[in-house]
Amino acid sequence: MAGRESYFWHKLHSLTGIIPVGFYMVQHLTLNSFALVGEDAYNGVIHFFEGLPSHLLLFLKYGLVWAPLIFHAVYGFMITSRALPFDSPAASKYRENKYYIWQRISGIVAMLFLIYHMISTSVAASLRGAESTILYDNWASKLSSFGYLILAIYIIGITASSYHLAYGIWNFCIRWGITISESSQRRMANFSRGAFVALCLLGYAALVGFFYSPFGKKDTAVQQSAVETTAPETQTIRY
């Protein structure tokens, strides 16, 4: 695999980028967006996965997520390192070449971001526990630390990862013979653009949820106190 280009490994690399890595990214951002509902909703997701049997959780984490993700990242980096520069400036004007350039850039940025993200979440949670690492309050504090530098890192990481997956869908359909004609590739390119915007918005919404939860339940105790304060006093009549 390391010595030359391989049809099989290229196919496997393309497949793992969609299943399971791409699928995991979509569901991961979706579950993180539970922060928009509030602390209890987000922490409920964390506690659900913590409540799974340990053997099932380990299989899901390392077998279905980490192993394909590491393979996709490492082999993708090998492809990028072997990439040749364009022969002429005119070649860079073509749509496919622009996609190719940004796919390689976004892949490198996403890989560096995921290394940081996995170390600071999954690895840290295994060492210190979820209570001090990945629950709602910890995320809210983390994202606002260092002058919101961590928040900026996550915005960049989500943007790069979203583009990488969105373009990967377009490339996957060509590589696997799903879109053959120019018109079908053009339609898939439009779909990928929409997917990129949707993924970015989903990821950004998850980040917003750690600062403001617009769909969260109102504090019933505060509401009750407000009602009691504003309610007119009643006079008890004794006979």
Q: What is the DSSP string of 171-207?
A: HHHHHTTS--SHHHHHHHHHHHHHHHHHHHHHHHHHH
Average pLDDT score over residue span 143-162: 96
Q: Is the pLDDT of residue 211 over 60?
A: yes
- Give the SS3 label for residue 94: coil
Residues 222-231: tens digit of each pLDDT: 344 444 444 4
pLDDT-derived band of residue 237, with 50, 70 and 90 as boundaries?
very low
Total domains in the chain come to: 1
Q: Is the pLDDT of residue 166 over 90?
A: yes
Range of the domain at 50: 7-230
Contact 102, 114 (CB under 8 A): no
Residues 22-68: tens digit of each pLDDT: 999 999 999 999 999 999 999 999 999 989 999 999 999 999 999 99
CA distances, 38 to each of 48, 75, 128, 216, 219 (Å) = 16, 39, 24, 5, 11
Worst-scoring range by mean pLDDT, 11-20, 123-132, 144-153, 176-185?
123-132
- pTM for the model stands at 0.85
Quick one: 115 exposed, middle or buried, by C-beta within 10 A (0-12, 13-18, 19+)?
Answer: exposed
CATH at 13: 1.20.1300.10
Residue 118 within a domain: yes
Contact 143, 150 (CB under 8 A): yes
Residue 136 within a domain: yes
Average pLDDT score over residue span 125-145: 86
Residue 72 within a domain: yes
Residue 236 within a domain: no
Residue 138 within a domain: yes
Residue 25 within a domain: yes
Q: Which of 14-18, 98-102, 234-238 has the highest mean pLDDT?
A: 14-18
Residues 78-129: tens digit of each pLDDT: 888 887 665 556 666 677 788 888 999 999 999 999 999 999 998 888 888 7
Taking phi over 0 as left and psi of -120 to 50 as alpha, with beta for the rest, 177 belongs to: left
Q: Is the pLDDT of residue 203 over 70?
A: yes
